[in-house]
């Protein structure tokens, strides 16, 4: 059973969504603010997060930003719900790391469709990572051949590219490359802009779908650190 974390200060909406999702076979946890949402996420590690944007204590944008800054929150699918319907608002949500954005009021069926699409995408990404990890480690020459020479990235951006697709956070990348997390974020923003992608999850999917991958040994080390 997949678990959904709903973060919204509107109790009526939360109650309705919980009932709707539970009737469709999901387990649901709820929070009324971003702060509460972060605490629940650490406790229960849901398969997907649905969050409002406008909330007290900590709004959805800051909640999403902090979640993406954690190792366990890097790849979890994230959907924003908001009464803000301007294009700039949706763009801001995606820049913070959201995978999708749904404007209130909405049809519950549409939310379920988006949830199912994101869960399926997450399943494919994780299946591909497992498949790659099970392959024999490439030789040195194979590793060099896998470098993204065809990508429009600077040498510094290439280094960040490899670190991101291994699942490291900005802070971890900064420690490994001896730069600040802010510098890492700047390079990551440049990478996403050049490749016309919206977030880290899309970048990882982009990399694996096109065969850009670090040596399997390095991926294994990243998984060990996560465990």
Assess whether 54 and 80 both reside in one domain: yes
**Within this chain, do residues 111 and 141 fall inside the same structural domain, yes or no?**
no
Q: Which residues contact 24 (CB under 8 A, 6 or more apart)?
A: 112
Kindly state whether residues 9 and 27 are assigned to the same domain. yes
Q: Are residues 77 and 151 in the same domain?
A: no
**Is residue 10 located within the same domain as residue 49?**
yes
In this prediction, residues 80-102 reach a mean pLDDT of 86
Quickly state the pLDDT bin for 167 (edges 50, 70, 90).
confident
Q: pLDDT at position 57, please?
A: 85
Choose one of 98, 129, 160: the last residue of a domain.
129
Residues 79-85 have a mean pLDDT of 87
Instruction: Compute the Cα dihedral for 159, 181, 54, 21 and give only its sign.
Output: positive
Q: How confident is the model at residue 171 (pLDDT cuts 50, 70, 90)?
A: confident
CB 119 within 8 A of CB 47: yes
Q: Which of 91, 108, 129 lies at the terminal end of a domain, its last residue?
A: 129
Cα 48 to Cα 34: distance, rounded to the nearest angstrom: 15
Q: What is the pLDDT of residues 180-194, one digit of tens each?
A: 888 889 999 999 999
Q: Are residues 33 and 76 in the same domain?
A: yes
Q: Which of 129, 150, 175 is the last residue of a domain?
A: 129
Domain extent at residue 184: 136-226
Residue 195 sits in a domain of what CATH number?
A: 1.10.10.10
Q: Is 72 in the same domain as 148? A: no
- Look up the pTM and report it: 0.61
Instruction: State pLDDT tens for residues 112-130.
Output: 999 999 999 888 877 776 6
Q: Do 211 and 140 share a structural domain? A: yes
pLDDT of 27: 96
Same domain, residue pair 149 and 221: yes
**Count of domains observed in the chain:** 2
Q: What is the 3-state secondary structure (H, E, C) of 86-118?
A: CHHHHHHHHHCCCCEEEECCCCHHHHHHHHHHH
- What does the pLDDT read at residue 214? 61
Are 124 and 153 members of one domain? no
Based on the fold, state whether residues 64 and 152 are members of the same structural domain: no
- Give how far Cα 175 sits from Cα of 118, 169, 171, Å: 31, 10, 6
Q: What is the pLDDT of residue 130?
A: 64
């Amino acid at each position: 059973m997949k678990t959904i974390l709903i973060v919204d200060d509107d109790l009526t909406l939360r109650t309705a969504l919980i009932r709707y999702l539970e009737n469709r076979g999901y387990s649901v946890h709820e929070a009324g603010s971003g702060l509460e949402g972060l605490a629940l996420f650490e406790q229960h590690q849901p398969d997907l997060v649905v969050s409002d944007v406008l909330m007290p204590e900590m709004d959805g944008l800051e909640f999403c930003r902090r979640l993406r800054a954690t190792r366990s929150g890097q790849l979890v699918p994230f959907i924003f719900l908001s009464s803000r319907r301007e294009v700039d608002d949706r763009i801001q949500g995606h820049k913070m790391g959201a995978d999708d954005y749904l404007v209130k009021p909405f049809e519950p069926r549409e939310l379920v469709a988006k949830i199912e699409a994101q869960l399926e995408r997450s399943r494919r990404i994780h299946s591909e990572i497992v498949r790659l990890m099970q392959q024999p480690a490439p030789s040195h020459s194979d590793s060099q051949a896998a470098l993204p020479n065809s990508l429009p990235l600077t040498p510094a951006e290439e280094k960040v590219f490899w670190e991101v697709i291994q699942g490291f956070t900005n802070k971890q990348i900064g420690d490994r490359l001896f730069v600040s997390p802010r510098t890492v974020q700047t390079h990551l923003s440049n990478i996403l802009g050049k490749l016309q992608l919206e977030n880290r999850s899309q970048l990882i999917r982009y990399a694996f779908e096109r065969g850009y991958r670090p040596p399997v040994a390095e991926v294994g080390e990243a998984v060990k650190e996560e465990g």
